[in-house]
Amino acid sequence: MDTSDELNQIIELSKAVLERKIDPLKLNVRELLEKIDAIFPKLKDIEEHLKDVEAMHGIANILHEQTHELNYRSEIMYLSPEAMIEKIKKMDPITLANILILCLNPVLSTSYLSTESLLNAIEYWYAMSKKKEQKEERSPNVVSINLEELGIIGKESLAKIEELAKEITSKTPINLKEMLAGKSYEEKIQTLYFLAYLISNGSFILKEIDDEIFVDRGKSSYKGSIIIEASKWAKE
Amino acid sequence: MGERVSKRKATLFEKMKKALHLLLIQRKSIPGATGYELKKFAGRKYLYVIKLLNSELESFGLKIKIVLPEDTQDLSNPSEDEYLRARYYITSNEPLLTTISKGQFNIEELACLSASLTFIIAKSNKANLNELETLLETKISKTKSKRMVEKFRRLGYIEIDKDNIVKLGWRAKAELDIERLMKLLAIYR
């Protein structure tokens, strides 16, 4: 391994210890120091020397973390950390909660508003400038479509839905763009409306393949009405 | 002589009152007071005033908890500077088991808090945030675990630094009896 790579390895190790991804007590600092000792004569340029310094600093951090770990464990713990973590994983929530309740002595505090601070606040309120009037909210541009004019509602609609279902079945999987190609705006709206009905019914599903939407046979696990953005698909 | 003693008692009582107000009334985001603040309002012998106040509060089931700074060399014999930098809180003497109010957590949140605090202690007060969330996700959903962690951080039970290292927060240090928690966990089967 390259000297630079070895030094990088030690530096990454010390960073992992600081980020608590590795238990510091599992590392052998003596071995790391011997490694650096062996690398030192092979260092060529200033960059490698700087990395060497960084690696030494990293080892110092590892030692510091080891000291902290040992102090903490010797002061407080009656169990090993691994045994403690296994225990809390196995305990049921009620027992965990009860144990915590037995160990919590809540802090008492209260808030207080003095007359002086209230008077200062009133003065500040009068000194505050008025908020600028809010701009009128623009209402969304809603276009209403008369379904009767489009010929969607009525007995004819069921026949049209069946016709569309047969057309899709014979050509599946069919690209939605191709399906709508060559139709007028009203026809596109009608097709999309019937298609949404068929998909909600569970006859067909929509699939995305290479950023294109396809209609295919199958039953969707989604339950409820399907919404297709007509403004996007019905553009002339 | 008698007059001098009674005058001294009155002064001491005034100082105790000031210290009590300072500890009880929350002025910043964290309740309680630092040693510097207590020294300013209760005088140089603020530790003696705190000791007297503590003995008075004991009859009401309360006590003054002193949380020393993290870099304290000897916890059993802190220096004057360490006492000045410490935080002082009024806490209950014993866990409030018979309180009527439910508290701010439901049973699930309490269990998650218990698991989180134990995990942080098991990692010597420096746990990785992702590991903590993974632990909570063994029992609750991902979104819930993130929400819980944020709630605990907001309330002061945990602290999260910029490197995503989780430590015990100011509230956990003030309220939690760590030794008791460890003993209970050790004896639980």
Q: Are B64 and B50 in contact (CB under 8 A)?
A: yes
Q: Which token pair is A201?
A: 């019914």
The ipTM is: 0.81
Closest chain A residue to B33 measured between Cα atoms? A109
Alpha helices, DSSP H, located in chain A: 3-18, 29-39, 46-76, 81-90, 93-101, 115-127, 147-150, 155-171, 176-180, 185-201, 230-233
Instruction: Choose the closest CB to B165 out of A20, A85, A91.
Output: A20
Instruction: With respect to residue A60, please indicate whether it lies within any of the assigned structural domains.
Output: yes
- Summarize pLDDT for B143-163 with one digit per residue, the tens: 999 999 999 999 999 999 998
Interchain CB contact of B134 with A (< 8 Å)? no
- Cα A122-A128-A134 angle, rounded to 5 deg: 125
Check residue A71 and give its pLDDT: 81
Residues in chain B with CB shorter than 8 Å from the CB of A97 are: 107, 110-111, 114
Provide the CATH number for the domain formed by B107-187 in this structure: 1.10.10.10
**Coil, helix or strand at residue B89:** strand
Instruction: With respect to residue A179, please indicate whether it lies within any of the assigned structural domains.
Output: yes
**The last residue of a domain, from among A84, A100, A125:** A84
> How far is CA A192 from each of CA A142, A146, B142, rounded to the nearest angstrom?
18, 15, 37
- Summarize pLDDT for A215-235 with one digit per residue, the tens: 888 776 665 566 666 666 666
Provide the terminal-to-terminal Cα distance of chain B, rounded to the nearest Å.
Answer: 63
CATH of the domain at A215: 1.10.10
User: In angstroms, rounded to a whole number, what is the distance separating the alpha carbons of residues B169 and A212?
Assistant: 51
> Which sequence spans correspond to the domains of chain B?
2-92, 107-187
**The last residue of a domain, from among A66, A84, A102:** A84
Q: Are residue A79 and residue A151 in the same domain, yes or no? A: no
Reported as a pLDDT band with limits 50, 70 and 90, residue A143 is: low
Instruction: Please state, for a pLDDT cut of 90, what percent of chain A lies above it.
Output: 15
> How far is CA A206 from each of CA A146, A183, A187, A194, rounded to the nearest angstrom?
27, 20, 20, 14
Check residue A178 and give its pLDDT: 83
- Summarize pLDDT for A64-107 with one digit per residue, the tens: 999 988 888 877 766 778 888 888 888 888 888 888 988 988 88
Q: Are residue A78 and residue A155 in the same domain, yes or no? A: no
* Cβ within 8 Å, pair A88-B186: no
How many residues are present in chain B? 189
- Summarize pLDDT for A5-56 with one digit per residue, the tens: 889 999 999 999 998 888 888 899 999 999 999 988 888 889 889 999 999 9
Is 0.80 topped by the overall pTM?
no
Q: Identify the CATH class of B2-92.
A: alpha beta
Instruction: With respect to residue A139, please indicate whether it lies within any of the assigned structural domains.
Output: no
Residues in chain A with CB shorter than 8 Å from the CB of B128 are: 19-21
* Cβ within 8 Å, pair A79-B111: no
* Higher per-residue confidence, A137 vs A43: A43
Mean of pLDDT over chain B: 88
Instruction: Choose the closest CB to A20 out of B96, B118, B127.
Output: B127
Reported as a pLDDT band with limits 50, 70 and 90, residue A163 is: confident
DSSP B95-164: ---S-SS--S--HHHHHHHHHHHHHHHHTTT-EEHHHHHHHHHTTS-HHHHHHHHHHHHHHTSEEE-TT-
* Cβ within 8 Å, pair B124-A72: yes
Q: Could you list the residue range(s) of the whole structural domain that residue A67 is in?
A: 3-84
Total domain count, chain A: 2
- What's the half-sphere exposure (Cβ side, CA atoms, 13 Å) at A129? 3
**The last residue of a domain, from among A84, A104, A125:** A84
